[in-house]
Copies of this chain bind each other. A is one copy, B any other.
Amino acid sequence: MAKSDVKKVVLAYSGGLDTSIILKWLQTTYGCEVVTFTADLGQGEELEPARHKALLLGIKPENIFIEDLREEFVRDYVFPMFRANAVYEGQYLLGTSIARPLIGKKQIEIAEKVGADAVCHGATGKGNDQVRFELAYYALKPDVKVIAPWREWDLTSRTKLIEFAEQHQIPIAKDKRGEAPFSTDANLLHTSSEGKVLEDPSQDVPDYVYSRTVNPEDAPDRATFITVDFERGDAVAVDGVKLTPAALLAKLNDLGRENGIGRLDLVENRYVGMKSRGMYETPGGTILLAAHRGIEQITLDRGAAHLKDELMPKYAELVYNGFWFAPEREMLQAAIDKSQEFVTGRVRLKLYKGNVSVVGRESPYSLYDQELVTFEEGAVAYDQHDAQGFIKLNALRLRTLGQRKKRMGK
């Protein structure tokens, strides 16, 4: 792409040093108008400093977009994903993966609004996030131009970056001058850390890497018991108090943090082909997953439950790889959502030093119900004698196989 082709670009801008460098680099290299988009996804940072800094770097006020996406994020991305009990490679709750499509979608919406022809993100060239951003961009605006500075520029070392910042009067916080011992991504669902001190998978994660949860050892010596209420597969209340999606997840985050819940040390397979080691803290999400599985236990039929379990790995892989806006993710979502109609009720959980356990579940729609097993006037639906026929017909093909083996002398 010829650099002069780009007229106006919407940059996913955090206000931090790296995206500020990108901002300036876009101005100087592409010579294009830069529109910044800063989103609150619950990463726990103030947004107004980003506005201030954008202005300082020469962005026109009308080109600065700041939005609080926390409710949309949890309601339309996190919750649908949790309906699927999605877990990547058996363990990862997909906290970073699920945020990228939303940011990408907002950038595209702004691009359409301001007439920008390009979008830009700050993800590196070795990770999954570049894929997730760009698949979202391309799906929603097929003719968009995508600028991925980390794959393009020659600022290939910390020193060069700092030099560039200094040359362009970009303010540099003191602790940003050296290499960070690890890098971090955070939103309302999780905080992830990777790189440097985490790169040897045989070595434990240093204590100082954790930021969202207390050590299980430091958590209270007494268990905390809570309830989570669900309606149609989504959590709606904690301890009986109705909460909006984002407020609910924030509440679970607090509970999880205090009780040392949701830490994960993982070596995972990136979509771009290599293995990487990461540390995740997903305090509220870990509780939410346990709670959702708890309410499904009594409200979901076996056929539906097993189909969900079979579809889940594929669903999780799609989210991880960045295919949120792909038809096959939407198909799976349709199947999953169909199953959640009666996933309504209350789960009681015990939180204790890193553990979250379901200790009770009840629902007006429970399929586990003494009354239910009885159908009419004392007649019991389950006749033990039926088991014989059930077994014998299920065994028939195995017996036939056994006969063949015998016949063959095997």
Binding site for B on A (CB under 8 A): 85, 89-91, 124-126, 130-131, 134-135, 138-143, 148, 150-151, 199, 201-205, 216-217, 221-223, 263, 265-269, 272-277, 293, 297-298, 301-310, 312-314, 317, 323, 325-328, 330-332, 334-339, 342, 348, 350, 352-355, 357-362, 365-368, 370, 372-373, 375-376, 379, 381-404, 406, 408
Contacts and interface: CB of A to CB of B under 8 A. Distances in A.
A139 B398 contact: yes
Given A327-B338, A331-B336, A353-B353, 9 more contacts: A138-B402, A139-B395, A148-B387, A150-B384, A275-B367, A304-B328, A308-B331, A327-B339, A385-B389
Contacts of A268: 297
B335 A402 contact: no
Contact of A135 (B138, B357, B384, B391): B391
B400 A372 contact: yes
A87 to B, nearest CB: 9
A156 to B, nearest CB: 10
A385 B151 contact: yes
Contacts of A396: 272-274, 381-382
A184 to B, nearest CB: 20
B391 A134 contact: yes
A388 B353 contact: no
A317 B308 CA distance: 13
Nearest to A384: B125
Contacts of A399: 138-139, 142, 375, 381
Nearest to A123: B387
A312 B223 CA distance: 33
A383 B391 contact: no
A90 B309 contact: yes
Contact of A327 (B203, B375, B401): B401
Given A267-B368, A323-B303, A386 B392 contact: yes
A171 to B, nearest CB: 28
Contacts of A274: 368, 373, 382, 396-397, 400
Contacts of A205: 359
Given A204-B360, A372-B400, A388 B148 contact: yes
> Which are the 6 A-B pairs with shortest beta-carbon distances?
A389-B389, A273-B396, A125-B384, A386-B389, A269-B302, A142-B399
B357 A269 contact: no
A172 B278 CA distance: 58
A360 B304 CA distance: 37
Nearest to A390: B393
A310 B89 CA distance: 10
B148 A375 contact: no
Contact of A357 (B265, B303, B309): B265
A382 B90 contact: no
A277 B392 CA distance: 22
Contacts of A140: 402
Given A310-B310, A334-B334, A392-B386, A365 B204 contact: no
